[in-house]
Amino acid sequence: MRDYYTIKINLPGGIVSPGYLKDILTAAWASGIRKVRFGARQQLLLTVHYEVVRFIEKDLQKLNINYELNTEKHPNIISSYCGEEVFRTGQWLGSNEYHSVLDSFDFQPQLKINISDSNQSFTPFFTGNLNFVSSPEPHYWYLYIRLKQSNTLFRWPELIYTNEIGRLSKVLENCMLYETCENDEKLYEKVKQHTTIISIPASQELELPSFSLPYYEGFNRYESRTWLGLYRRDELFSVEFLIDLCLLCLKTRVGEICVTPWRSLIIKGIEDDHRSSWSNILGKHNINVRHAANELAWQTEDHTEEGTHLKDFLVRYIEKNDTRTFGLSFGIQTRAKSEVFGSVLIRKRPLIQIAQLSLFSVYDLYYTENFNPNNRKHILFERGLFKIHLPWQLEKLCRKFNNRRSLENTETFHIDEQPKEIIALPSTVHQCPDCLTIYHPEYGDTLNSICPGTTFDSLPTDYCCATCGAEKDELIEIQLPASVLF
């Protein structure tokens, strides 16, 4: 018999009322649970000792609260509502539209469903099986589908009307789970046979913003009010603190608490008159805010102490070495077939596998195409790393990202000075994307015994960058000005 069980309670869209959450937490406290966590799909997770499982189940049933015990049959519907209003996008999508979408679901989905604002980069777009993304047309949505056991996305030919999302999702789920649909054409035909929905043709492709994770912790001002972001380094929240938080929400008429995919909380709509009360509750429970931004950009699997410890180990190295991680997010995957969100992925695997026995563990380091975490294509950077080697390789990958971004954003500045001798130079050279070393055919490469006047095409196939060892085919052709002043 196992010692502990996991109770999962879905919070659709990552939205929960303070009264509803307080009832759950009060039942948890009565069963001896002192800490809870939130999942990557914005759900509430309780770890319960086997001796008290039946008691908390009884209490949850009395409260008419849906839950799952050690199962994942019904994944939570996740949404970008947690960032709505506080990370403004200027689009038509607002709180009413989010609630209309969530209200259109009259069933508990068995597929993963994402509801996303196309102008935000706070929550993932394509980690679901059904991914609805707002379009430029008010009240219409793109739909991107990922079939079960597949990593390939395809776009639905039409834009879906807001109030049709729940009904279409139900039909799609039935077709994908219980009927044979080998590809997107077959699925489209099946759905059309079962239902007719309000839609319009998708006249243009979806354009997503470049990824930049906004800072989501601490007190932050917006319009005439304040929002509060709460993050815990160990991803555990005290039940006693959360109950006090719910009571303060009820007292100050804050109607919603938002759960983020980063396992943090956002409380919106804090009035100026109540700001001191919120500061006091943080002080009472010794809740720290304003962690370093590079610590907030990590995502681990649900219920993984190993992943959390590895995150802390790598974050300490990054802080010690003052490594720049702006623009990146990191995911740690310690279990096969689990899913995390990040532009850099650290994936654990056994070095030796004998039947069900795993001996020794190593890590593979991947990054997404263009370092966009919403891209489904992962590119291998280093394979078979021991834990002790991970920090340096991770720092090397961060440098690769920063150098690439520097090349993309480089501008040429000209300063007017007294006339000097002008020496004409060839306009084309090749530059290493990692260390920015330039191979210039006029000068050659004395460190690699390459004579001056050797063109890049004439270099041997095994030629490497003299500074960092990058291979020849990794060097990028760039244009220099037609002349350089000396």
> 169-185, pLDDT tens digit by residue?
999 999 999 887 777 88
Q: What's the whole-number mean pLDDT along residues 277-292? A: 95
pTM of the model: 0.83
In the prediction, which pLDDT does 412 show? 41
In the prediction, which pLDDT does 414 show? 42
| Higher pLDDT pick, 134 / 443 | 134
Tens of pLDDT along 62-95?
A: 999 999 999 989 999 999 999 998 987 778 999 9
| Higher pLDDT pick, 243 / 185 | 243
Chain centroid offset of residue 234 CA = 18
**C-alpha distances in Å from residue 367, one per residue of 25, 257, 397:** 38, 33, 8
Quick one: pLDDT band at residue 431, thresholds 50, 70, 90? confident
Q: How many residues does the chain have?
A: 486
Return the minimum-mean-pLDDT range out of 19-33, 300-314, 416-430: 416-430
What are φ and ψ of residue 62, in 5° steps?
-60, -35
Distance CA 154, CA 131 (A): 10
Q: What's the whole-number mean pLDDT along residues 149-165? A: 91
Angle at 3 between CA 74 and CA 336, to 5 degrees: 50
In the DSSP assignment, the letter for residue 447 is: G
Q: Which residues pair with 366 in a beta bridge?
A: 345, 380
Q: What's the whole-number mean pLDDT along residues 223-252? A: 96
pLDDT at 419 over 50: no
Contact residues for 333 (Cβ-Cβ < 8 A; gap 6+): 301, 307, 339, 340, 345, 346, 347, 348
Distance CA 254, CA 246 (A): 9
- Please state which architecture CATH assigns to domain 422-485: Single Sheet (2.20)
Distance CA 102, CA 162 (A): 10
